[in-house]
A and B are shown apart, each in its own frame.
Chain A
Amino acid sequence: GESVGLHLPTLSVQEGDNSIINCAYSNSASDYFIWYKQESGKGPQFIIDIRSNMDKRQGQRVTVLLNKTVKHLSLQIAATQPGDSAVYFCAENMDQGGKLIFGQGTELSVKP
């Protein structure tokens, strides 16, 4: 079924520290996963993606890890900056139609 959030979990980190945001996905058949960043009042922005035939992918300051055994995704942000403060969502590609289903989301707050 669809993922419906209740209240967003919050992660608070100090500027310069590394952040780890976790996500559990629902469908073991999902083959593609994306992390999005959403700032207040805006649409989600693409951060990084990973296909199910991989378990790790790195971008600039970000790394996504995929554990298919336990249906778990994580997003690691290195040297977190105040501009990283936002809500982060994982999304899974559920079927051939390409629709993305979003996870609950985590609000990241970076303290200067």
Chain B
Amino acid sequence: GAVVSQHPSRVICKSGTSVKIECRSLDFQATTMFWYRQFPKQSLMLMATSNEGSKATYEQGVEKDKFLINHASLTLSTLTVTSAHPEDSSFYICSARISGTGTSPLHFGNGTRLTVT
């Protein structure tokens, strides 16, 4: 149980274009989802907290107009990287916690490898 699915797993796009990444909780509902970014050989850095039916909360230094988050339902959050640049190339990982479980583990998707050329 508690499976989080991300799509696509890999994407290559040209500089200046936008890319949408989907994160779905397959067998549970998630009021809140979290988006992380990870550069090679580094830790996961929290980008934003995605809240179902309301605006996302962004971490300091993360541009909300560049990384658009939409959490339209209890099982789907999307991250859109707008006007992508090569420095946005990274591994983006979403996670979710089963609603109503309080303090409990986050379940992670398998990430999306974004390469901007």
Q: How many chain B residues touch the partner (CB < 8 A)?
A: 28
Q: How many A-B pairs with Cβ below 8 Å?
A: 72
A1 to B113, CA, bound (A): 25
A55 to B13, CA, bound (A): 47
Q: Which residues of B contact A41 (CB under 8 A)?
A: 110-111, 113
Q: Does B54 have its Cβ within 8 Å of any Cβ on chain A?
A: no
Report the nearest A residue to B105, measured CB to CB. A46
Q: Does A61 have its Cβ within 8 Å of any Cβ on chain B?
A: no
Q: Which residues of A contact B45 (CB under 8 A)?
A: 2-4, 102
A78 to B30, CA, bound (A): 34
A87 to B112, CA, bound (A): 18
Query: Is the beta-carbon distance between B108 and A102 smaller than 8 angstroms?
Result: no
Q: 1/0 per residue A86-106: CB within 8 Å of B?
A: 000101010001111111110
Q: 1/0 per residue A1-45: CB within 8 Å of B?
A: 111111110000000000000000000000110101000011111
Q: Which residues of B contact A2 (CB under 8 A)?
A: 45-46, 59-60
Q: 1/0 per residue B92-111: CB within 8 Å of A?
A: 01010100000111111111
Known A43-B93, A43-B109; contact A98-B32, beta-carbon cutoff 8 A: yes
Report the nearest A residue to B101, measured CB to CB. A98
Q: Does A51 have its Cβ within 8 Å of any Cβ on chain B?
A: yes
Query: Is the beta-carbon distance between A32 and B103 smaller than 8 angstroms?
Result: yes
Chain A contact residues, CB within 8 Å of chain B = 1-8, 31-32, 34, 36, 41-46, 49, 51, 89, 91, 93, 97-105
Chain B contact residues, CB within 8 Å of chain A = 4, 6, 32, 34, 36, 41-46, 49, 57, 59-60, 93, 95, 97, 103-111, 113
The 5 closest A-B pairs by CB, nearest first: A43-B108, A5-B43, A5-B42, A102-B44, A46-B105
Extra inter-chain contacts (16) besides given A1-B60, A2-B59, A100-B34, CB under 8 Å: A2-B46, A8-B42, A34-B105, A41-B111, A43-B4, A43-B6, A44-B108, A46-B107, A97-B57, A98-B97, A99-B46, A101-B46, A102-B36, A102-B44, A102-B45, A103-B43
